[in-house]
Amino acid sequence: MQDAHKAQPTTSTRTPRGARSQTPDAAAAATQSVSVRRAPRAGRHVPDAPADADVAGIAITSARRVVDATSGIRKIDVVRYHERASRVLLPHLRDRPVSLVRAPHGLAGEMFFQRHATRAPIPGLTQHEGLDPGHPPLLTIDSEAALVGAAQMDAIELHTWNARAAEIERPDRVVFDLDPDPALDWDCMIEAAAMTRALLRELGLEAFCKTSGGKGLHIVVPVVPLTPETGWEDVKAFARAVAQRLASDAPTRITATMGPEHRKKKIFVDYLRNARGASTVVAYGVRARPGMGVSVPIGWDELAQTTGGAHWTLHNIDERLATVGKADPWAGYARVKQRVTAELTIGLEESGR
């Protein structure tokens, strides 16, 4: 997919602010987990819609255009989901630079990855000058209007950085993307996720899990933003050390080396999402893949009941959304205060030798 980030900005601009202590929260209401039900087969019938529509005060063009022929999902279905799910999406989006996967001709057409502002502005998105030197402004989605506006401009996937725009050099989370060889059974993924959690707990770190909406799982470790003396390279070094330790402990099942030749009958623990400028699909975000899976936070006690990375799709996500307000599996995320240190990284590197 080509990258669209070469043009000049035209929408509202916000410059970096001073440090602001803030961690992502997903509408915390309760701490108990939500039961996972096996995903039903996606139906193809969806309510009719006019050729053009209005959602959250934004005119939606080509509303009936089919985005995914496999599931029958149309553009208006994606837009309405973003409006409906804004209460759970926005806590994970606000003030985080976002990259967009846009599909103006649906999944069967050309898609492109947009990291920066362009001459064709997306309504409501905030622009941040100077955060990515040598490039146009980075973007954030901070309101329901911006979320719907992005969908109107054919944004399907929303990927966020591991830091907030206000503290761009101080990452506040570590992400491990467990990416399996498609030939592996899902039980192997469940086992790998449990192994990752166990290692992190040995290190004194609490981790949270979500489905990727695609093939795998994401393990997310919230951290207190590091001191000015440390930053992106330190977090990436820690993530690499964790991945290499897992590969050392289970060499026939896990690899820390990228590339399909290294992933045969194994799970790649992708730590590269912790580099500056890298991003991960947002919690409750849609995937631009046949079936239109959704990346959904889960409790660790729900992991064994999942059936795949796309356990939830746009066809069955509403049942999950209805339960999140009563029992959010990530309710404790914002209360976690922990750090990754050089000592942890060195200890992992030495134990893996």
- What integer pLDDT is reported at residue 15 of this predicted model? 41
How many angstroms separate the first and last alpha carbons of the chain? 38
The band of 298, judged by pLDDT with boundaries at 50, 70 and 90, is very high
- What integer pLDDT is reported at residue 1 of this predicted model? 45
- What integer pLDDT is reported at residue 351 of this predicted model? 82
- What is the distance, to the nearest Å, from the Cα of residue 291 to the centroid of all Cα atoms in its chain? 17
- What integer pLDDT is reported at residue 49 of this predicted model? 59
Residues 243, 185 contacting (CB under 8 angstroms): no
- What integer pLDDT is reported at residue 35 of this predicted model? 46
Mean per-residue pLDDT, 105-132 = 93
Q: 222 has which bridge partners?
A: 173
CA distances from 184 to 40, 248, 292, 336 (A): 22, 19, 21, 33
Q: In this predicted model, what pLDDT tens digit does every residue of 233-259 receive, in sequence order? A: 999 999 999 999 999 999 999 999 999
Mean per-residue pLDDT, 108-122 = 91
Q: In this predicted model, what pLDDT tens digit does every residue of 77-89 receive, in sequence order? A: 999 999 999 999 9
- What integer pLDDT is reported at residue 353 of this predicted model? 58
CA distances from 283 to 14, 42, 220, 300 (A): 24, 21, 10, 16
Q: How far apart are CA 160 and CA 236, in angstroms?
A: 16
CA distances from 14 to 1, 292, 336 (A): 28, 33, 29
Q: In this predicted model, what pLDDT tens digit does every residue of 34-74 receive, in sequence order? A: 445 444 444 444 455 566 789 999 999 999 999 999 999 99
Q: In this predicted model, what pLDDT tens digit does every residue of 188-213 receive, in sequence order? A: 999 999 999 999 999 999 999 999 99
Mean per-residue pLDDT, 30-37 = 43
The band of 29, judged by pLDDT with boundaries at 50, 70 and 90, is very low
Q: How far apart are CA 340 and CA 338, in angstroms?
A: 7
Give yes or no for residue 227 having a pLDDT over 90. Answer: no
Q: 170 has which bridge partners?
A: none
Give yes or no for residue 18 having a pLDDT over 70. Answer: no
The type of residue at 29 is A
Q: What is the mean pLDDT of the chain?
A: 87
Mean per-residue pLDDT, 149-169 = 97
- What integer pLDDT is reported at residue 294 of this predicted model? 98
Q: In this predicted model, what pLDDT tens digit does every residue of 263-280 receive, in sequence order? A: 899 999 999 999 999 999
- What integer pLDDT is reported at residue 261 of this predicted model? 87
Q: Helices in 154-269 by DSSP H: which ranges?
A: 186-202, 232-249
- Compare 310 and 11 and report the one with higher pLDDT: 310
